[in-house]
Chains A and B, each alone.
Chain A
């Protein structure tokens, strides 16, 4: 979806703003940009003002306010004087919006990229009976990995351990 929006070539000023936004790293995962993360939903013009619409990853993500101030700074540096950052909740962000190239960069950074989202009903059948998708170790590629904790260093990640190279790693949870 993000690439569709970027592909709109109509307005060169908006195109230039997209380029600037694409250079803003995610504050907590600096190897990917906020555009690649899929949280910049729209850049539009309203009168003489530029409106950037973003959607939060998780409801309480503490990076949200920092991202908004990074966007405002980028707009000011582009010479814009009238601009606004708006938040849009629906449709809710999903890891499906993370750009393919960014997934590889996550892996190279040591974070296993998100797998497929569970679309079925909530499963409370317990750890032993719940089928878990194999998460490949981002360091050695082994799929013999174990979930250590359902939450990692940020709300969007879980903690895993590789049973072959024995390294712990973060898994970007499908959401």
Chain B
């Protein structure tokens, strides 16, 4: 893999996690527990989709250098198979109840904000610009999702049990966020990307503080699943893609 191929893969990781989480957040439209939450979830999704589009735009330009034809953002989103996606396994986990949705969001936001803060110092000006923009949005996201973890954890007996169950279910997908591979190590050495392993202590400290306030127990560190960055996904992913991609695949080139 040459340098541009590495960068392309890296940009798709950033774009795909944003896109897939957006798709799940969009599933709440019309189903939120209250209208304010319905609006909030889709606004968070809107921020993430905007960030995904910027990452895809840059990825397409890099791909054009690798293969002479870079894909458009729609081609990336709608015409790749599951194995072509590089998103974290965490974000493809189903919405479940509201505790699952907010636990997934908080685990992601707490990581995403740290990552974007690092990438805003990238030596690649495009990456730094997109990350600096997204970072301002991610700050707001993590405060909001953290509030929900506390509100449900330190809420009723029922909400506490559900939030604890959500964390216990999702915990095995959090380890992947901090696993570095050769691409990340190489790009971090250049100052272009971030070695995600370096984010782990700050993430654990932040998540630990919120869980403590929420009267929740941090799940024990046990077996961690990984594979998203290599295109190896969980069983939920095929269903998500089928729904997300059905229209452009049934009506190629459709415009509205």
The residues of A with any CB-CB pair to B shorter than 8 Å are: 56, 58-62, 89-93, 118, 122-127, 129-130, 148-153, 155, 159, 173, 175
Contacts and interface: CB of A to CB of B under 8 A. Distances in A.
Interface in B21-79: 36-37, 39-40, 43-51, 53-54
Interface residues of B, number: 40
B50 A58 contact: yes
Given A60-B46, A90-B132, A151-B40, 14 more contacts: A56-B133, A58-B47, A60-B50, A91-B132, A92-B132, A92-B136, A122-B113, A122-B139, A124-B143, A124-B206, A124-B209, A127-B151, A150-B40, A150-B143
Interface of B: 36-37, 39-40, 43-51, 53-54, 110, 113, 125, 128-130, 132-134, 136-137, 139-140, 142-144, 146-147, 150-151, 206, 209-210, 213-214
Given A60-B48, A122-B113, A149 B39 contact: yes
Contacts of B53: 59-60
B129 A89 contact: yes
A58 B51 CA distance: 9
Sorted nearest first, the 7 A-B pairs with minimum C-beta distance are A60-B50, A59-B50, A149-B36, A90-B129, A60-B46, A89-B129, A124-B146
A137 B60 CA distance: 46
The winner among A58, A93, A148 for most chain B CB atoms within 10 A is A58
Contacts of B132: 89-92
A58 B136 CA distance: 9
Contacts of A118: 139
Given A90-B129, A127-B147, A130-B143, A59 B210 contact: no
Contacts of B46: 58, 60-62, 155
Contact of A125 (B45, B50, B130, B213): B213
19 contacts: A56-B50, A56-B133, A58-B137, A60-B50, A60-B51, A60-B53, A61-B50, A62-B46, A89-B132, A92-B129, A92-B132, A122-B143, A124-B110, A124-B206, A126-B146, A127-B150, A151-B40, A151-B43, A159-B36
A89 B130 contact: yes
